[in-house]
Amino acid sequence: MSNPTGFMEFDRVDVGKRDPLERVGDWSEFLVQIGDNQLRTQGSRCMDCGVPFCHTGEIIGGLAAGCPVNNLIPEWNDLVYKGKWREALDRLHLTNNFPEFTGRVCPAPCEGSCVLGINEPAVTIKSIERTIIDRGFEHGWVVPRLPQSRTGKKVAVIGSGPAGLAAADVLNQAGHEVTVFEREDRIGGLLMYGIPNMKLDKGVVQRRLDLLQQEGIQFKTGIEVGVAISADEIKSSFDSVVICVGATLPRDLKIPGRSLTGIHFAMDYLRGSTAALLDDATAPISANGKNVVVIGGGDTGTDCLGTAIRQGCNSVVNLEIVTRPPDQRLDSNPWPQWPMIFRTDYGHEEAKAKFGEDPRQFSVETVEFVADSDWNLKGLKTVEVDWAKQRPGFAPFTAVEGTEKLIEADLVFLALGFLGPEPLISEAFGLETGQRTNILANTSDYETSQPGIFAAGDCRRGQSLVVWAIREGRQAAEVCDRYLSTSG
């Protein structure tokens, strides 16, 4: 490293955010980039550690440690410090097909495993990554890359989320003719319809899609494989198939009153809101003038909060059944694991600024949805839970007597995670599945129970992060390329 004492000289400076009360009035991205000179200083905080864990991309004790795509973080940090932005971009693209996505939506497990982060604030890796790629687009350094030759082999990629796009990109650069099938009316999967615009501007997504199309990838929208086109037709028309359909079966909350009007799965809400924004139409589910309760935390729950506030909700509450995370790492959660600590995301900030308090309530179980005389939702009954006492045969917690409560609500969004992929694809291709309908394929070859058919991303590993999907798409494509080179 060019400045081996930078980590001792400079404090961490985080990426800026627009004022919460300002940004909730529009759908523009809430992040504000800090200046180049300041970022160069931040790059100098990378400390030339003997064994950098930031790019390891491992699972330790069930938690992520380091960057899943193995970004060469110390190298491009040093290049940024030296002002060599073009070289930093080249280094970044060696491992990450879409740093403009991860630089915006990834929770940055790399920072959680930064050696400096053991006893000081970690290097601002995510902010530097985002700046490198945005600067690359601004200066015209990111241009279409056309394969030098074509192999004559054809590959179908089913699903156009981060895993599918990464697989398509790698296979196209290897010279194969790649066609991506997407059942939605737009390409991008989760990137397009699952993440709100203020977090990932759809112009940023479309910019990359335009590049991929210019490089020769064919995109076909509005086609659900197994319905509009059969698995046999796909297999007869292509030499190989890579399945990247995600894990889209939402976890439900089957309690009394679930069928009442006003209760929706979070992704149905987010998908409709983004589609309406892109089509300049009215959202099919609007929180305007409503009292909103979001059940479940995580990124999806936060996105529901931010969306509801922008639509003009009257109030918003976020219920989480888990206990409040600690402010600092516990001994049971050592470095370099992802730190399971209390964080305040953009939606929580906005709710606090708008309504005066953090919307989250922890250790709360919803036990019943309550109806008005017309069978519309009017509220929900909750009870506090004690995780130190198990409910034998039922749950790892016990309801606390005397804590019953009625929360007023006109809209409830269920952000409880996902069970696995919808079974249509696996049934259509005759693929073996495991728990939660996940398609069986290991990480050594990503090949399913059917030769020449591969699976990657959430449909294989279960619900996960965008960066893990990119990693799996890349790796599955490399295996698929080897398969195509040895097949007849």
At residue 35, the pLDDT reads 84
Q: pLDDT of 385-431, one tens digit each?
A: 999 998 877 789 999 999 999 999 999 999 999 999 999 999 999 99
Residue 1: pLDDT band (50, 70, 90) is low
Q: Can you give the pLDDT at residue 97?
A: 98
- Mean pLDDT in residue range 343-366: 98
Rounded average pLDDT over 377-382 = 98
Q: What distance in Å separates the CA atoms of residue 156 and residue 163, rounded to the nearest whole number?
A: 13
The overall pTM is greater than 0.85: yes
Phi/psi for 242 (5° steps) reads: -120, 120
pLDDT for 466 equals: 97
- What's the pLDDT score for residue 287? 98
CA dist., res. 332 & res. 340, Å (int): 10
Interval 305-324: pLDDT, tens: 999 999 999 999 999 999 99
Q: Give residue 395's pLDDT.
A: 87
The mean pLDDT of 11-29, rounded to a whole number, is: 95
Give the mean model confidence (pLDDT) for residues 151-158.
98
CA distances from 25 to 269, 284, 350 (A): 19, 20, 11
Q: Are residues 55 and 46 in contact, defined by beta-carbon separation less than 8 angstroms?
A: no
The confidence score (pLDDT) of residue 392 equals: 76
Average pLDDT over every residue of 160-171:
98
Q: Which residues pair with 370 in a beta bridge?
A: 379
pLDDT (0 to 100) of residue 445: 94
End-to-end distance of the chain based on CA atoms, in angstroms? Answer: 48
Q: Write out pLDDT tens, residues 169-188.
A: 999 999 999 999 999 999 99
Instruction: Let me know: does 467 contact 457? Beta carbons within 8 Å.
Output: no
- Kindly indicate the confidence band of residue 250, based on its pLDDT and cuts at 50, 70 and 90: very high
Percentage of the residues of the chain whose pLDDT score is greater than 90: 92
> What's the pLDDT score for residue 37?
87
- Provide the pLDDT for residue 488: 65
pLDDT on residue 404? 97
Whether residue 289 has pLDDT greater than 90: yes
Q: Mean pLDDT in the chain?
A: 96
Which residues 6+ apart lie within 8 Å of 333 measured at CB?
63, 339, 340
What domains are defined for the chain?
Answer: 6-138 (1.10.1060.10), 154-248+419-486 (3.50.50.60), 252-416 (3.50.50.60)
**Residues 26-85: tens digit of each pLDDT:** 999 999 988 888 999 999 999 889 889 999 999 999 898 999 999 999 999 999 999 999
Q: What is the pLDDT of residue 3?
A: 84
pLDDT value of residue 394:
79
